[in-house]
Amino acid sequence: MGVFDKIKNAIWGGHAEAAPAAEPLKPAAPVSASAAPASNPTPIPSAAPAASAPASSGPVDITPILDAAVKKSGQKLDWRKSIVDLMKALDLDSSLTARKELAAELHYSGDTNDSATMNVWLHKALMKKLAENGGKVPAELAD
């Protein structure tokens, strides 16, 4: 799993959305008729969790999710301006190595040794990518 997927999964978490990966699991077919006695049929997983998820309610608003993550972290983090703070709020690896990996995933063409420039680009690119993947990004962060 890439860094972007970790960020997206951390934000979406229990807020399932219409991404292809969020498709409900299909029940498995029984291996053989003799494997399950007729009086005790194989239970079929309930679709209730998928049905209760807001799959068609539109984009996932990232603001309250990230604000809550910052509050839960107990740290003074500014996810709206800092890629490092955003990753820390989500309890993800925010090391330079992880950010370079994210830069590669998002096709950063600049110098990854210029971390300040890369970080600014990463934050903007991440907001754009989150919006493209069903996230509702604050207007001031959507470029």
Residue 110 Ramachandran class (φ > 0 left, ψ -120 to 50 alpha, else beta): beta
pLDDT of residue 134: 92
Query: Residue 2 is encoded by which pair of tokens?
Result: 């890439």
115-132 and 96-105 helices cross at what angle (nearest 10)?
A: 50
Residue 61: strand pairing partners? 136
pLDDT in tens, 71-116: 999 999 999 999 999 999 999 999 999 999 999 999 999 999 999 9
State mean pLDDT over 57-65: 88
Distance between CA 98 and CA 51 in Å, rounded? 35
Domain that holds residue 111: 59-143
Assigned domain for 29 exists: no
pLDDT of residue 57: 60
pLDDT of residue 100: 97
Assigned domain for 24 exists: no
The larger pLDDT score, comparing residue 38 to residue 134, is at 134
Assigned domain for 82 exists: yes
pLDDT in tens, 104-129: 999 999 999 999 999 999 999 999 99
Record the pTM: 0.70
Number of domains in the chain: 1
pLDDT of residue 112: 96
